Copies of this chain bind each other. A is one copy, B any other.
């Protein structure tokens, strides 16, 4: 990414989202790269443009709720290392789960963007989202983001929602729209959002766009010609960024999404693509690959019982897994601990009414009382314990940054701390030879008992690959 930074910084973006989300996890799990060092590098190379991160509120970048001190320290450290704009969301749209991070970000002078996870259900009217926007405004966010992670927002809905929020919250509160491209309609939704007064939209450079990603930046800019709307982005610099990533992509072809077209089925099923493939593999492991349609029918029912939670990490996994269990074992005969927690309020408040019979089952199953308070209020101070545990790990450098890495990824951090001194791993492959760029695999010769390099023509394209005799 380094080669694109100057052009990116000069291009005139409102902000560059370059950290948080799943990038932190990828850094330590796959790349042997310190995510904090990465952030400092970005800040050094892109000093002019605000850097942005995606933050899961009280979950930070992990998968459980953290006690407030941990959340605060994470926000302070992120700002200190270079993050300017914090886009903060909660999977259930429960603003109590983002309040602590909003407060911490503001205390340290950052921009706290409150996020509405967009979803479609019988209760998710424009009014419901607008009410959420008002609540976010009340807790003092600097701007709002509508986050449509499943590409469900259609043009008219985008227009109505942006208009509704602007009318309710006043024109001064910035509204951003984040959409994915999966269903093929969302560039049109961006156009309609622009007409409704949206202040900023998310796009990706065209060479890294579309499919499960975002809409192409260049197309968005070109689209506006003659409409009276414009961006501050310099198209020439953007085109250079495009070419840069186009070249780089060839080295990472094995990691690219195979999905390049559109998929509109999700409008009916409301199940994101990633969730679908997850459930398919769960079913296959149980020898029940043929029950996928039963599961697809079950999901809306389970989701209804939860009070129509948005389907996004972690609620999508929780609802999907429970639907699989319902189909295989009988409806709610077996509950996962996570599903019970969701029904009992341990992830926060849900948007609608929960099915009280299912709440009762969860209560019996989990032997835990239902709660209505903010889940993190039940947590005891944990920073000192996390710090002790982290510092006991070989290779831990004793910084708060390392403690946070351990706090969020306790399974992955120990190996990362141990191997960090070896430096980042280059997972790219030479596109001409297919060979790894850091550790070239040695060519094998002689008897065909082990792996051997062959020229393989597959679907008309020639690949050089390493293969093992078929048994």
Binding site for B on A (CB under 8 A): 154-157, 160, 183-185, 187-188, 191-192, 206-207, 209-210, 215-216, 218-219, 222-223, 225-227, 239, 253-254, 260-265, 267, 429, 431, 434, 448, 453-461, 463-465, 467-471
Contacts and interface: CB of A to CB of B under 8 A. Distances in A.
Given A261-B209, A434-B457, A434-B459, A467 B467 contact: yes
A465 B456 contact: yes
Given A188-B188, A261-B210, A155 B455 contact: no
A230 B348 CA distance: 40
A222 B261 contact: no
A300 B434 CA distance: 40
Nearest to A235: B264
Contacts of A215: 184
A227 B155 contact: yes
A454 B454 contact: yes
Contact of A470 (B160, B184, B454): B454
A439 B188 CA distance: 46
A246 to B, nearest CB: 9
Contact of A206 (B264, B461, B471): B264
B216 A261 contact: yes
A382 to B, nearest CB: 37
A209 B260 CA distance: 10
Given A254-B459, A454-B467, A455-B467, 6 more contacts: A184-B216, A184-B219, A185-B222, A254-B460, A434-B457, A457-B467
What are the 10 closest A-B residue pairs judged by CB atoms, nearest first?
A: A254-B460, A184-B219, A156-B226, A260-B260, A218-B264, A253-B459, A254-B459, A455-B470, A185-B223, A454-B467
Nearest to A154: B225
A219 B185 contact: yes
A447 to B, nearest CB: 10
Contacts of A261: 206-207, 209-210, 216, 260
Contacts of A227: 155-156
A294 B406 CA distance: 56
Contacts of A465: 456, 458
A463 B454 contact: no
A156 B222 CA distance: 11
Contacts of A461: 254
Given A156-B227, A184-B187, A264 B222 contact: yes
A239 to B, nearest CB: 7
A226 B457 contact: no
B216 A264 contact: yes
Residue from A191, A222, A463 with most neighbouring chain B CB atoms (10 Å): A222
